[in-house]
A and B are shown apart, each in its own frame.
Chain A
Amino acid sequence: MTGKRIHMAWFSGHGAGPSGWDDPAMPAGYRWDRPELYVDSAKIMDRAGFDAIVFADTMAIPDTYQGRMDAYLEHAIAMPKLDPAVLTPMIAAETSSIGVVATLTTTFYPPYLLARLTATLDHVTEGRSGWNVVTAFTERAAQNFGMDRLPEHDTRYDIADDYLALCQELWNTWDADAVVMDRAAGRFADPSKVHRMAHRGPYFTAEGTLNVVPSPQHRPYILQAGSSDRGIRFAGEHADLVIATKHTPAQMREFRDRVRARAAECGRNPDDVKVLFIVTPLFAHSEDALRSRRDALLPRDPVAVGLATLSVGFDHDLSAEPLDEPPSAERLGPAAERFRLPDGSMPTLRQAAERQAGWTALPLEGTPEAIATRMEEVVEESGCDGFAIRGRWIPEYVHDVSHGLMAALRARGRVLPPTSGATLRERMAMSVS
Chain B
Amino acid sequence: MTDTPFRLAWFTAYGPRGWDMPEGVFHDWRKPAVYREMSSLLETRGGFDGLVFADTPAIADGADIGTHVEYGLEGISHDPMPMLAAVAGATEHLGLVATLSTQLYPPYILARALATLDTLSNGRAGWNIVTSAGSHTAELYGRDSLPAHDDRYEHADEFVDVAERLWEAWDADAVVMDAGTGIFADPAKVRTIDFEGAYYSVRGPLTLPRSPQGVPVLCQAGASDRGRRFAAEHADMIIVHASSVPLMKEIRDDIRARLVEAGRSPDSCKVFFTAHVIVGETGTEAQALRERLEASPTTSIEAGRAALKATKDGFVIQGDPEHVADQMAETMQEIGGDGFAIRDALLPSFVVPLVDRVVPILRRRGLVRQNYHYPTMRENLLDPHFTAAAVKEQEGIGA
A140 to B58, CA, bound (A): 32
Per the 8 Å Cβ criterion, residues 74-98 of B in contact with A are 75-79, 81-83, 85-86, 88-90
Determine, out of B63-71, B245-253, B370-378, the stretch whose residues face the partner at the interface. B63-71
A206-B141 in contact given A90-B86, A120-B79 (Cβ < 8 Å): yes
* B35 nearest in chain A by CB position: A124
> Contacts A144-B203, A186-B20, A188-B16 hold; do A207 and B109 have CB atoms under 8 A apart?
no
Whether B59 pairs with A126 at a CB distance below 8 angstroms is: no
Interface contact B83-A120, CB-CB below 8 Å: yes
- With a cutoff of 8 Å between Cβ atoms, the chain A residues found around residue B209 in the complex are 33, 80
With CB as the reference atom, state the residue of chain B lying closest to A148: B201
In the bound complex, CA of A208 to CA of B140 (Å):
6
Type the 1/0 row for B277-296, where 1 means its CB is closer than 8 Å to any CB of A. Answer: 00000000000000000001
* Bound Cα distance from A58 to B117, whole angstroms: 17
A121 to B109, CA, bound (A): 16
Of B153-161, B177-185, B214-222, B223-231, the one contacting chain A is: B177-185
Cβ-defined contact, A89 with B86, below 8 A = yes
Residues from 133 to 185 in B contacting A, C-beta threshold 8 Å: 136, 139-142, 174, 177, 179, 182-185
Task: List A residues 181-202 near B (Cβ within 8 Å).
Answer: 181, 183, 186-191, 194, 196
CB distance from A220 to the nearest CB of B (A): 12
Pair B120/A89 contact, Cβ less than 8 Å: no
Say yes or no: B184 contacts A186, CB within 8 Å.
Answer: no
Q: Does A266 contact B (CB under 8 A)?
A: no
B122 beta carbon closer than 8 Å to chain A: yes
Q: Are A86 and B208 in contact (CB under 8 A)?
A: no
Would you call B30 an interface residue if the criterion is a C-beta within 8 Å of the partner chain's C-beta atoms?
yes
Binary CB contact string for chain A from 201 to 234 against chain B (1 if under 8 A, 0 otherwise) = 0001111110111000000000000000000000
Asked if B182 and A300 sit within 8 Å, CB to CB, the answer is yes
How many angstroms between the C-alpha atoms of A311 and B38 in the bound complex? 49
Provide the bound-state CA to CA distance between A206 and B59, in Å.
15
**Which A residues are CB-close (under 8 A) to B179?**
22
Query: Does A116 sit at the interface, judged by CB under 8 A?
Result: yes
Q: How far is the CB of A201 from chain B (nearest CB, A)?
A: 10
Interface residue count on the B side (C-beta < 8 Å): 75
Complex: chain B residue closest to A83, CB-CB:
B116
Contact yes or no, A112 B141, CB < 8 A: yes
Which among B57, B82, B115 is the interface contact of A121 at CB below 8 angstroms?
A: B82
Q: For residue A126, which residues in chain B have a CB less than 8 angstroms away from its CB?
A: 31-32
Decide: A74 and B187 in contact? CB cutoff 8 A: yes
| B373 nearest CB across to chain A (Å) | 21
Beyond A120-B14, A144-B204, is A211–B109 a contact (Cβ under 8 Å)?
A: no
> Of B31, B109, B205, which one neighbours A108 at CB under 8 angstroms?
B109
Q: A415 near B: Cβ within 8 Å?
A: no
Choice from B16, B65, B71, B177 contacting A209 with Cβ under 8 Å: B65
In the bound complex, residues from chain B placing their C-beta under 8 Å from that of A82 are 116, 119-120, 207-208
Which of the residues A33, A143, A211 comes within 8 Å of B120, measured between beta carbons?
A33
Contact B116 A146 (CB under 8 A): no
Q: Is A85 an interface residue, CB under 8 A from the partner?
A: yes
Tell whether, in the assembled complex, residue B202 and residue A116 are in contact, meaning their CB atoms are under 8 Å apart.
no
> Are A194 and B65 within 8 A (Cβ)?
yes
Instruction: State whether the Cβ of B22 lies closer than 8 Å to any Cβ in chain A.
Output: yes
Stretch among A65-73, A325-333, A385-393, A416-424 lining the B interface: A65-73
CB distance from A409 to the nearest CB of B (A): 30
Are A90 and B85 interface neighbours, CB within 8 A? Answer: yes
A79 in the interface, Cβ–Cβ < 8 Å?
Answer: yes
Cα separation A430 to B79 with both chains bound (whole Å): 31
Interchain CB contact under 8 A, A110 and B177: no
Is A18 a contact partner of B184 (Cβ separation < 8 A)? yes
Q: Is B113 an interface residue (CB 8 A)?
A: yes
B106 touches A181 (CB 8 A): no
Q: Which residue of A lies closest to B101 (CB)?
A: A113
Q: Are A207 and B182 in contact (CB under 8 A)?
A: no
Decide: A79 and B207 in contact? CB cutoff 8 A.
Answer: yes
Whether A186 pairs with B296 at a CB distance below 8 angstroms is yes
Write the chain B residue with the least CB distance to A32: B177
Q: CA of A410 to CA of B121 in the docked complex: distance in angstroms?
A: 36
Min CB–CB distance A199 → chain B (angstroms):
8
Q: Name the CB-closest residue of A to B183.
A: A74
A119 to B14, CA, bound (A): 13
Say yes or no for B112: interface residue by CB 8 A criterion. yes
State whether the Cβ of A154 lies closer than 8 Å to any Cβ in chain B.
no
Q: Determine if B104 is an interface residue (Cβ-Cβ < 8 Å).
A: yes
CB atoms of B82 and A89 under 8 A apart: yes
Choose among B67, B136, B182 the residue with the greatest number of A CB atoms under 10 Å from its CB.
B182
A210 to chain B minimum Cβ distance, whole angstroms, is 8
Closest B-chain residue to A146, C-beta based?
B201
Q: How far is the CA of A255 from the CA of B187 in the complex (A)?
A: 40
Question: Quick check: is B72 within 8 A (CB to CB) of the other chain?
Answer: yes
Question: With A and B bound together, what is the CA distance between A252 and B36 in angstroms?
Answer: 44
B228 to chain A, nearest CB (A): 28
A143:B203 contact, CB within 8 angstroms: yes
Cα A375 to Cα B290 in complex, Å, equals 63
Q: Of all chain A residues, which has the CB nearest B20?
A: A183
Q: Which of B24, B184, B205 has the most CB of A within 10 A?
A: B184
Of the residues B90, B177, B297, contact of A22 by C-beta under 8 Å: B177
Q: Which residue of A has the minimal Cβ distance to B88?
A: A90
- The chain B residue sitting closest to A31, CB to CB, is B177
**Please, which residues of chain B bring their CB within 8 A of the CB of A59?**
108, 112, 207
Taking A187-B71, A188-B16, A188-B72 as contacts, is the C-beta distance between A80 and B136 under 8 angstroms? no
Q: Nearest Cβ in chain A — how far from B140, in angstroms?
A: 4
Which residues of the other chain, A, contact B69 by a CB distance below 8 angstroms?
178, 188-191, 194
Which 8 pairs of residues, A with B, have the shortest CB-CB distance? A188-B72, A186-B297, A76-B184, A83-B116, A120-B79, A143-B203, A70-B187, A300-B182
User: Which chain A residues have a beta carbon within 8 Å of chain B's beta carbons?
Assistant: 16-18, 21-22, 33-35, 39, 58-61, 68-70, 73-76, 79-83, 85-90, 92-94, 108-110, 112-113, 116-117, 119-121, 123-124, 126, 140, 143-146, 178, 181, 183, 186-191, 194, 196, 204-209, 211-213, 299-301
Residues on B facing A (Cβ under 8 Å)? 14, 16, 19-20, 22, 24-25, 30-32, 36, 56-59, 65-67, 69-72, 75-79, 81-83, 85-86, 88-90, 104-106, 108-109, 112-113, 115-117, 119-120, 122, 136, 139-142, 174, 177, 179, 182-187, 190, 200-205, 207-209, 296-298
